[in-house]
């Protein structure tokens, strides 16, 4: 967002948000909330295995997003995405058998 009367100048709020996302810290915040959700679910008598299988694929996809935002090498993006699929399938199987 450009400030009025000052071409080529970006407002400080836009710069802060751009840096917040480009640094991957936005993903860190979401992962932090996922940890709090896991603690809350386990405290409410959900089995730890069930909670881990439920949240792990999403957490791995967020780690891949963080790697992409921070311009990490391609394998740091591909690895968590690759591991998230078997975990997702394990979660589906676990839910079906429960």
Whether the Cβ atoms of residue 42 and residue 48 lie closer than 8 Å to each other: yes
Identify the pLDDT of residue 5.
56
* Segment 47-90, tens digit of pLDDT: 999 999 999 999 999 999 999 999 999 999 999 999 999 999 99
Contact status, residue 46 vs residue 39, Cβ threshold 8 Å: no
Residue ranges of domains in the chain: 12-97
Cβ-proximal residues to 93 (8 Å cutoff; 6+ apart), any chain: none
The whole-angstrom separation of Cα 66 and Cα 19 is 13
Beta-carbon neighbour count of residue 60 at 10 Å? 19
- Tell me what pLDDT residue 11 has: 74
At 2-45, the pLDDT tens digits run 455 555 666 776 788 889 999 999 999 999 999 999 999 999 99
């Amino acid at each position: 967002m450009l400030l009025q009367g000052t071409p080529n100048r970006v407002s400080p709020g836009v710069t802060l948000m751009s840096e917040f996302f480009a640094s991957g810290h936005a993903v860190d915040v979401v992962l932090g909330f996922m940890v709090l959700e896991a603690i809350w679910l386990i405290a409410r008598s959900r089995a730890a295995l069930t909670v881990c299988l439920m949240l792990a694929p999403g957490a791995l996809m967020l780690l891949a997003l963080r790697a992409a935002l921070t311009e990490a090498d391609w394998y740091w993006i591909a690895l968590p995405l690759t591991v998230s699929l078997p975990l997702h399938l394990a979660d589906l199987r676990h839910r079906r058998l429960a």
